[in-house]
Chains A and B, each alone.
Chain A
Amino acid sequence: MPDTKFPIPRNEKERLVALRRYNIIDTLPEQEFDDIARLVAYICDVPAAHVSFIDERRQWFKATVGFEATEVERDTTFCQYTLMDTDMWVVPDATKEPKLIDNPNIYDGFKVRFYAGIPLTTHDGYNIGTICAIDHIVRDINDEQKNALRILARHVMSQLELRVRNTELDKQKEIAELAIYAKDSFLANMSHEIRTPLNAIIGFTELIGKTELDATQKEYIQNVQTAGESLMLIINDILDLSKIESGQLIIESQPFSLRSALKHTYELMKVKVSNAIEFNLFLDADLPDMVMGDRGRLNQILTNLTSNAIKFTQEGDITISVKKITENDNSYTLRFSVKDTGIGIAEDKLETIFDRFTQAEESTTRRFGGTGLGLNIVKQLVELQHGVINVKSTFGRGSEFYFILSYNKVFTQEKKVQKAEQSIKKLKHLSVLLFEDNILNQKLARSVIDEFGFDLDIANNGEEGIEMFLNKRYDLLLMDLQMPVKDGYQTTEYIRCELKSDIPIIAMTAHSLVGEQQKCFDIGMNGYVPKPFKQVELLGEINRVMNKKPAKQFKGIDLSYLLEMSCEDQNFVNEMITLFVNKVPNEIDLLENAVDNKDYDAVRKIAHNMKSSLPIFRLDDLLKDLTLLEKQAIDTNFTDEADEKMNKLRKGLTDTVVKLSTYKS
């Protein structure tokens, strides 16, 4: 037993634990608590009040009114007694209170006569502090004031409780975010680790396929290719789930042939269907061919549904059918269906069939395998494309899964791939430096690039590559992103910022996280090829990057700035030139008029505005003249130079306008 003079609640130990949970002692003053103390003083009409907390040996004040103190010894306080009670302790005259005989606060310093204290009680019944009203005269408070004190005490406690909860929530949130981050980066890394060797397998298989082979070998190679691609699909599926969960999955919109996509899926699945089952693909006669959408996701949905149908059907037939429901100026709405004569789904299971980790029967997993994720991914994929999916089924008779998607129509475009192949011939002989640490990938890239007829040097990491880059002239850099020593991002940053080189750089990466492509462009790369890369894709990208048109001149007028702004869009260039030609002559007149009239304010305004037009055609000399005019206008003093500059401007700009007005793309 410690040697103490003050009364100790019987639950003192637990009480101290409860107090510490709020982390309130020795914190800085806060408005909320100061307000409470002020309210107490105001409501009870007393000169002094406080909100305090009591630990083992002291009373610590969170807020005070009418006196200044941080803490006092517990055994000198009135509140040590309040702490013992469940309700308010009111002492109208302290000198008459037996417990307070000899209490220093009555005779020394503060000279307390009246005291009303209410304990601050936690939700689980521990008194951790007090709210008090204090006066120097003998008096009392009425029931309403007492009630107000009780309310304030409860308010303080709920405030404290809320804070604790918030802190706990913040902590949980932090933990959760860390966990999500860890999962994301784990998935990204795993996908990279798996994709890199798989990339090599698929790539080399593609190369073997191009050598001379007999029919059997060709077939074997074809099988390896198919298997490799299926494996890639599975890995992508796993990634998809994590992407869907974190809202990172993006639905692409590219033109594709609906018919050939559907036939492709059908052919792929056909080999898996046993002979006992009739497997059909029914396409409506008026089904459109080319649509804008995500071919891969459609394929994924149909493959998934068909795989299920195959798994659960012993005999009868499985039919994929697609028909057009409606069509408007911009889009088609199509109904896709996968129907089987399999085991069917019991009516009470239909509702939850699309839920995660749900299969129709407990025993399904045992009999048929599967993760229970497939239909959930399918549903989310359909919904991400703003579609709906439904199921009809009769137990023992078969099921039909059907979904409705809208695809935008394709307007022109296309033939991109062909174009790329044609224009390879236009590319000169290129000297290429590849940054890549994986030996298999190095070999693969070498074979592909040899086929293009380019020279290739290979660096094993960023540092080595920079060394090579400094010693030889290259036309193009191919950059793997994950490399030891210096990765692709760091290397690119170094080349752009330190070496100040604008050599074209194409990122090559097996990463598949959303936003990565943008990140590459943001730090100054010019192109992006996801691995495993197809020859055509790489070539297309090289072609695009190398064919960036040089700064153009038109009759001595520099159009490079305008071309950069317009991203080489010819229509926009025309539009800007027309705008310039139409507005500048009028502005010259206005400016000259203002100069003649020494209207400084007008000159300043017109010049300021015109100054932004001139750099668009890189009219740097004229810009200097205009700046001088503006300056003299600001100084409200035109010298002889002003007239001279004005004449030069009129002549120069008129000349430019005349030339530009003959511009035709």
Chain B
Amino acid sequence: MKIILAEDNDLLRKSLSFFLESKGFEVNQFADGREALEAIKNNDCDIILTDINMPGISGMEMTQYVRITLGRQTPIIIFTSSGIEQTELDAFDIGANDFMAKPISPSVLLVRINKLLKENNR
């Protein structure tokens, strides 16, 4: 399973990559939203994890691009910063499948990824 992970905080990004890789995923990590989107355009991936706020382009813009311009239904989880409800609602509105408020619990993340992948494979 291939994951594209976009998160500009190195510590969190590296930790999440390490965690997900040790669970058997192939993780492509990016600190810049635009670079992540390039990778999404050029490669197949099974799920996209992205922070909402990032240099380059934001997680919301990325989601919009994937859904509308690329027309792809790849599952997307958006990491939001401390529960701001409106943002989360917006995230759903533009086609994200799930959002998670930071701090990200790795085990919860794993469960949600597995759930989305399962739904997507149906």
B18 partner residues in chain A, CB cutoff 8 A = 565-567, 569, 572
Q: Are A565 and B19 in contact (CB under 8 A)?
A: yes
| Contacts A522-B114, A569-B18, A569-B22; A613 near B106 (Cβ below 8 A) | no
A611 touches B102 (CB 8 A): yes
User: Shortest beta-carbon distance, B47 to chain A, in Å?
Assistant: 15
Cβ–Cβ contact B102 & A576, under 8 A: no
Within 8 Å CB of A576, what residues of B? 11, 14-15
Q: Check if B8 is an interface residue, CB within 8 A of chain A.
A: yes
Given contacts A567-B19, A567-B22, A579-B14, A613 and B9 within 8 Å (CB-CB): yes
Residues of A within 8 A of B102 (CB): 611-612, 615
Q: Is residue A562 within 8 Å, beta carbon to beta carbon, of the partner chain?
A: yes
Instruction: Report the count of interface residues on A (CB-CB < 8 A).
Output: 23
Complex Cα spacing A277 to B60, Å = 75
Contacts of B103 in A (CB 8 A): 561, 612, 615-616
Q: Cα distance A123–B7 when bound, in Å? A: 60
Residues of B within 8 A of A613 (CB): 9, 11-12
Q: Which residues in A have their C-beta under 8 angstroms from that of B53?
A: 608
Per DSSP, chain A at the interface is helix
Residues of A within 8 A of B10 (CB): 579, 583
The CB with the most chain A CB atoms within 10 A, among B12, B15, B22, is that of: B15
CA distance A574 to B18 in the complex (A): 13
Report A649 CB to chain B, min CB distance, Å: 16
B69 an interface residue at 8 Å Cβ cutoff? no
Residues of A within 8 A of B104 (CB): 615
A564 touches B11 (CB 8 A): no
B 1-39 to A, binary, CB cutoff 8 A, 1 in contact else 0:
000000111111011101100100000000000000000
Which of A564, A580, A608 is the one whose CB lies under 8 Å from B81? Answer: A608
B24, closest chain A residue (CB): A518
Instruction: Compute how far the CA of A575 lies from the CA of B18 in the bound complex, rounded to whole angstroms.
Output: 11
Interface string of A521-545 (1 = CB under 8 A from B): 0100000000000000000000000
Least CB separation from A564: chain B residue: B106
Count A/B pairs, Cβ under 8 Å: 59
Q: In the complex, what's the smallest C-beta–C-beta distance from B22 to chain A, in angstroms?
A: 5
Asked whether any CB of chain B lies closer than 8 Å to the CB of A242, the reply is no
Q: Does A609 contact B (CB under 8 A)?
A: yes
Is B82 part of the binding interface, using a Cβ–Cβ cutoff of 8 Å? yes
User: Using Cβ atoms and an 8 Å threshold, which residues of chain A touch B86?
Assistant: none
The reply on B43 being an interface residue by CB < 8 A is no
Question: A627 within 8 Å of B by Cβ?
Answer: yes
> What bracket does the count of chain B residues touching chain A fall in?
20 to 34
A611, B82: Cα distance in complex, Å: 9
Q: Does residue B107 face the partner (Cβ distance < 8 Å to A)?
A: yes
Q: Which of A565, A572, A608, A615 has the most CB of B within 10 A?
A: A565
For residue A522, which residues in chain B have a CB less than 8 angstroms away from its CB?
Answer: 111, 114
Contact A612 B22 (CB under 8 A): no
Cβ contact of A565, chosen from B7, B8, B16, B81, cutoff 8 A: B16
> Smallest CB-CB separation from A524: which chain B residue?
B111
Q: Fill in one digit per residue for A546-576: 1 if any B CB lies within 8 Å of its CB, else 0.
A: 0000000000000001101111010010011
A612 touches B7 (CB 8 A): yes
Bound together, the chains give a CA A615 to CA B100 distance in angstroms of 14
Q: Are B8 and A564 in contact (CB under 8 A)?
A: no
Shortest beta-carbon distance, B3 to chain A, in Å? 15
CB distance from A445 to the nearest CB of B (A): 29
The reply to whether B11 and A616 contact each other, CB–CB distance below 8 Å, is yes
Q: How far is the CB of B31 from chain A (nearest CB, A)?
A: 10
A residues near B51, Cβ cutoff 8 Å: 612
Output the least CB separation between A177 and chain B (Å): 14
The residue in chain B whose Cβ has the minimal distance to the Cβ of A607 is B81
| Residue of A with least CB distance to B31 | A609
- CB atoms of B15 and A580 under 8 A apart: no
- A584-628, CB under 8 A of B: which get 1 and which 0? 000000000000000000000000111111011000000000010
Q: Mark A57-97, 1 if CB is under 8 A from B, else 0.
A: 00000000000000000000000000000000000000000
| Contact pick for A579, options B11, B107, B111, CB 8 Å | B11
List the B residue with the shortest CB-CB distance to A617.
B11
State how many angstroms separate the Cβ of B1 from the closest Cβ of chain A: 11
Contact partner of A616 (CB less than 8 A), chosen from B7, B8, B15, B111, is B15
**Is the Cβ of B12 less than 8 Å from the Cβ of A564?**
no
Residues in A neighbouring B19, C-beta threshold 8 A? 564-567
CB distance from A112 to the nearest CB of B (A): 46
Contacts of A616 in B (CB 8 A): 11-12, 15, 103
Known: A561-B103, A627-B82. A566 touches B11 (CB 8 A): no
A-chain residues with CB within 8 Å of residue B15 when the two chains form the complex:
562, 565-566, 576, 616
> In the complex, A376→B24 CA distance in Å?
32
Closest Cβ–Cβ distance, residue B96 to chain A (whole Å): 19
Could you mark each residue 52-94 of chain B with 1 if its beta carbon is under 8 Å from any beta carbon of chain A, else 0? 0100000000000000000000000000011000000000000
- Taking a contact as CB atoms closer than 8 A, the residue among A565, A579, A580, A611 that contacts B106 in the complex is A565
Closest to A568 in B: B22
Contact (A611, B11) CB under 8 Å given A565-B106, A572-B18: no
> Given A565-B106, A569-B22, are A612 and B12 also a contact pair (CB < 8 Å)?
yes
B106 to A612, Cβ gap below 8 A?
Answer: no
Q: Are B107 and A612 in contact (CB under 8 A)?
A: no
Chain A residue at minimum C-beta to C-beta distance from B110: A522
Bound: A580/B51 CA distance, A? 19
In angstroms, Cα B79 to Cα A466, docked, is 36
* Residues in B whose Cβ lies below 8 Å from that of A575: 14
Are B11 and A612 neighbours in the complex by a CB distance under 8 Å?
yes
Contact at A609–B81, with CB atoms within 8 Å?
no
B107 partner residues in chain A, CB cutoff 8 A: 564
Measured CA separation A562–B18 after assembly (Å): 11
Residues on A with beta carbons closer than 8 Å to the beta carbon of B82: 611, 627
Nearest Cβ on chain A to B21's Cβ, whole angstroms: 10
- Footprint of A on B, CB under 8 Å? 7-12, 14-16, 18-19, 22, 51, 53, 81-82, 102-104, 106-107, 111, 114
Q: Could you give 26 example pairs across A and B, Cβ below 8 Å?
A: A522-B114, A561-B103, A564-B19, A564-B106, A566-B19, A567-B19, A572-B18, A575-B14, A576-B14, A576-B15, A579-B14, A608-B81, A609-B8, A609-B9, A610-B9, A611-B9, A612-B11, A612-B51, A612-B102, A612-B103, A613-B9, A613-B11, A615-B104, A616-B11, A616-B12, A616-B103
* Given A566-B18, A616-B15, 4 new contacts (CB under 8 A): A522-B111, A561-B103, A565-B19, A612-B7
9 A-B pairs closest in CB distance: A615-B103, A612-B9, A565-B15, A612-B12, A567-B22, A565-B19, A613-B11, A522-B114, A565-B106
